[in-house]
Amino acid sequence: MSTTGTAPRLSAGVLTADLTRLGDELAVLRGTGCWAHVDVMDGSFCPLLTVGPGFVAGVAATGIPVDAHLLVDEPRRLLPDIVAAGPAVVTVHAEATRHLHRTMQELTALAAARPAPVLRGVAISPGTPVTAVEPVLELTDLVLVLAIDPGWPGQLPAANTRRRVAAVRDLAAGLGRPILVGIDGGLTMANAAEIAGWGADVVVSGSAIYDGTDPAGNLERMLARLGMTPATTGPR
């Protein structure tokens, strides 16, 4: 459970869905309180090359909140188009830019200019000290703690993940406003209940939901393991 005592929100990675029938695949998320997690990868920051702002816009057009995770080098170049695509969350990596503070300032300005609210996120990979996010916490709404090294599928959650979630909480404690903490990577049906107890507000899982078999059934089972039901919307 999160530190608020509620179940964590599920952000369901949609890139493992059947993209030839994406509308039907996304429909299983409607009314559940889940986000649609889109990994935007450039083939440079991590090995995979995936999608861009056009895909984010297409998913956002369904009305389901989009969680856009930018796994790209120097994300400032993409921020205007990504924010304009209409996501509810935009997350950049601390390791991906030489100018993280400037990047978050620009994301803040773009978010403020958009009518709908945008949560500003900063992600850190397992080998990055949590203190890397400290200089930008005042510009941040979500810290996403990666439990795996991005771009290499099939990994188990790093052993330090729970400790790092707690460390991010400690860093943010003195700010006087809530900062969401998320966990991304390695979430399966088998470990979901355990990970739900690590104190995160948001957890990300892709292939456990969209595995090519029964996404609606998988989602129902995952939400049950996380202690969340379709009527439980979790943290905003």
Catalytic residue, candidates 42, 67, 184, 201: 184
Backbone φ, ψ for residue 156 (5° rounding): -85, 155
Q: Tell me the C-alpha distance between 169 and 105, whole Å.
A: 22
Helix, coil or strand: residue 159:
coil
- In our burial notation (b when 16+ CB lie closer than 10 A, e otherwise), range 120-132 reads bbbbbbbebebeb
Backbone φ, ψ for residue 119 (5° rounding): -80, 135
Q: Tell me the C-alpha distance between 196 and 2, whole Å.
A: 7
Q: What single letter denotes the amino acid at residue 97?
A: T
Verify whether residue 18 is a known catalytic residue.
Answer: no
Verify whether residue 184 is a known catalytic residue.
Answer: yes
Helix, coil or strand: residue 40:
strand
Catalytic residue, candidates 39, 42, 67, 141: 39
What angle (nearest 5°) sits at the alpha carbon of residue 193, between those of residues 87 and 59? 20
Q: Tell me the C-alpha distance between 43 and 157, whole Å.
A: 22
Q: Which residues pair with 89 in a beta bridge?
A: 67, 119
Catalytic residues: 39, 184
